[in-house]
């Protein structure tokens, strides 16, 4: 069978929406989700957004911020929204927002927000260039500028 080599016109900046259901194996004795499970889902959603943007394999190099705002409970549906907010020469930042939804009532609550940095790599694992990210509106510009400040802080920490 031949592979389909048709290039998609899909926007490589389109946000990722990932949905997961919270099962008993995801929860602790209190019936709330393990933080590590949420972190894993965040990394997957962020990596998909970065990979789609770069049209390349990516590796995670940093997680800047992770704060659990509201609990995620057994039976909830978890919605992860991921998008690239900044791109440099070989690296990208993604913002991942996590919401918990009670699928019966429809109530949603923000549970977590995280910023992750990925580097695009070639088939030998060496960094490769990514396309430029040019903000298209005021909201994207504000996120881009905030990402640049986080990047400057990361570089300070790395050189300390």
Place of tokens 């996590």: 98
Domain of residue 142: give its range: 16-159
Q: Residue 128: inside a domain, yes or no?
A: yes
According to the 3-state scheme, what is the secondary structure of the chain?
A: CCCCCCCCCCCCCCCEEEEEECCHHHECCCCEECHHHHHHHHHHHHHHHHHHHHCCEEEEEEEEEEEECCCCECCCEEEEEEEEEEECCCEEEEEEEEEEECCCCCCEEEEEEEEEEEEEECCCCCECCCCCCCCCCHHHHHHHHHHHHHHHHHHHHHHC
**Residue 73, token pair as written in the block:** 């409970």
Q: Residue 88: inside a domain, yes or no?
A: yes
Q: Which carries the bigger pLDDT value, residue 17 or residue 160?
A: 17
Q: What is the pLDDT of residue 5?
A: 59
Q: Residue 50: inside a domain, yes or no?
A: yes
Q: Residue 76: inside a domain, yes or no?
A: yes
Q: Residue 84: inside a domain, yes or no?
A: yes
Each residue of 42-61: pLDDT tens digit?
A: 999 999 999 999 999 999 99
Q: What is the pLDDT of residue 153?
A: 84
Domain count for the chain, please give it: 1
Q: Residue 6: inside a domain, yes or no?
A: no
User: Which CATH number is 24's domain given?
Assistant: 3.10.129.10
User: Does the model's pTM come out above 0.75?
Assistant: yes
In this prediction, residue 3 has a pLDDT band, given cuts at 50, 70 and 90, of low
Tell whether the model's pLDDT for residue 115 goes beyond 80: yes
Each residue of 6-41: pLDDT tens digit?
A: 565 567 778 899 999 999 999 999 999 999 999 999
Q: Residue 8: inside a domain, yes or no?
A: no
Q: Residue 10: inside a domain, yes or no?
A: no
Tell whether the model's pLDDT for residue 159 goes beyond 60: yes
Read off the pLDDT of each residue in 140-150 and give the average, rounded to a whole number: 89
């Amino acid at each position: 069978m031949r592979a389909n080599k048709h290039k998609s016109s899909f926007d490589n900046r389109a946000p990722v929406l990932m949905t997961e259901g919270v099962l008993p194996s995801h929860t602790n004795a209190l019936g709330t989700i393990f933080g590590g499970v949420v972190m894993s889902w965040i990394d997957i959603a962020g990596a998909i957004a970065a990979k789609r943007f770069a049209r390349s394999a990516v590796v995670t190099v940093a997680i800047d911020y992770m704060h659990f705002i509201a609990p995620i409970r057994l039976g909830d549906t978890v919605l992860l929204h991921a998008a690239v907010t900044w791109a440099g020469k070989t690296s990208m930042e993604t913002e991942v927002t996590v919401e918990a939804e009670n699928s019966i009532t429809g109530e949603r609550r923000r549970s977590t927000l995280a910023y992750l940095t990925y580097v695009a790599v070639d088939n030998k694992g060496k960094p490769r260039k990514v396309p430029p990210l040019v903000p298209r509106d005021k909201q994207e510009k504000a996120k881009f500028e905030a990402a640049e400040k986080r990047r400057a802080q990361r570089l300070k920490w790395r050189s300390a």
